[in-house]
Amino acid sequence: MPRQRAASGASTESSRSAPEDQELGSLYDYLAKIILLGPSGCGKSCLLHRFVRGEWRILSSQTIGVEFSSKIIKVGTGSRRKRIKLQLWDTAGQERFRSVTRSYYRGAAGAVLIYDITSHPSFTSLPTFLTDARALASPNLTLLLVGNKQQVEVVERAVTTNEAARWASLQDIPVTMETSALSGENVDEVFTRLAHMIVTKIELGEVDPDDPMSGIQYGDSGGWVDASGSTRKRKGPGRVMADGFSAGLREWEDVFRDSSGGRRRKCC
């Protein structure tokens, strides 16, 4: 069962200083590792950049290995509101990097399978990525299927929404969406929907953040109330999920935040 958060202190909104507000804005209840999967050229990096930065990425480095970003999403309202921090891993789609990127699938709580709606080969390559993800990530992996480049004309479409929906149904993928990394259409909705699905699993007891294989950790937003009614506090920065790293979360983010890529090319 998810831990019940302790009640906040008596301080009012007006009594908080700017640094305190900034600190509160960076706190979160849950931390979830998310991987973006799909063939090279389907727009994973542009989709991630649009979500995190809120802008179109004109030029993008070809992803070599993995690149890392993060963003906090609010789920729910009122006393039931939760803040979940998504650690977003953009993986290289080329076959030559597959052995490297597969190692980052471990401990993933969620995966976004991405294909280019103008390229049927990009769609038919997805089973390989899905098989690897289900074999290596969390047993309760939450999946979404996303067709990117929604801004194209109908005549350029190579994968219909019905074809994508049928395949997703056969693979037990509950949600299919289409996005435009260029215009931003449905981009936020993809990750918000994924965050809602993960938090719902936690609240229903289907996923336990105390399980190192869940791909989810409790965050740093304060204490919680244990079964006896006692208020408990975190004892320091949590350790990262079961993916081979043992540094603190902040150190882990610093390592991957400035990942460098190869030659420059137009983003897809």
Q: Is residue 267 part of a domain?
A: no
Domain that includes residue 65, residue range: 28-260
The set of residues, in sequence order, having a beta carbon less than 8 Å from that of 193 and lying 6+ positions away, is 144, 175, 177
Which of the two residues, 107 and 112, has the higher pLDDT score?
112
Which of the two residues, 163 and 3, has the higher pLDDT score?
163
Structure tokens at 92: 């290289």
Count the domains in the chain.
1
Strand spans (E) along 203-247 = 216-218, 224-225, 231-232
Q: Is residue 250 part of a domain?
A: yes
Cα gap 103→243, rounded to integer Å: 8
Q: What is the pLDDT of residue 252?
A: 36
Q: Is residue 1 part of a domain?
A: no
The continuous run of DSSP H or E covering 15 comes out as none
Q: Which of 133, 109, 141, 129 is nearest to 241 (CA)?
A: 109
Per the prediction, the chain carries an average pLDDT of 75
Q: What is the pLDDT of residue 221?
A: 64
Q: Is residue 20 part of a domain?
A: no
CATH number of the domain at 74, please.
Answer: 3.40.50.300
How sure is the predictor about 151, in pLDDT bands with cuts at 50, 70 and 90?
low
Q: Is residue 61 part of a domain?
A: yes
Q: Is residue 8 part of a domain?
A: no
Q: Tell whether the model's pLDDT for residue 133 goes beyond 50.
A: yes
Q: Is residue 249 part of a domain?
A: yes
Q: What is the pLDDT of residues 196-221, one digit of tens each?
A: 999 999 999 999 999 988 999 998 76
Cβ(68)–Cβ(254) below 8 Å: no
**Mean pLDDT for the stretch of residues 135-145:** 95
User: If phi over 0 gives left and psi between -120 and 50 gives alpha, with beta otherwise, what is residue 172?
Assistant: left
- Could you tell me the pTM of the whole model? 0.72
Q: Tell whether the model's pLDDT for residue 144 goes beyond 60.
A: yes
**Mean pLDDT for the stretch of residues 110-127:** 96
Which of the two residues, 51 and 18, has the higher pLDDT score?
51
Q: Tell whether the model's pLDDT for residue 233 goes beyond 70.
A: no
Cα gap 193→46, rounded to integer Å: 19
Q: Is residue 17 part of a domain?
A: no
Q: What is the pLDDT of residues 34-90, one digit of tens each?
A: 999 999 888 888 899 899 987 776 655 554 456 788 999 999 888 889 999 999 998
Q: What is the pLDDT of residue 164?
A: 97
Q: What is the pLDDT of residue 78?
A: 85
Q: Which residues pair with 231 in a beta bridge?
A: 225
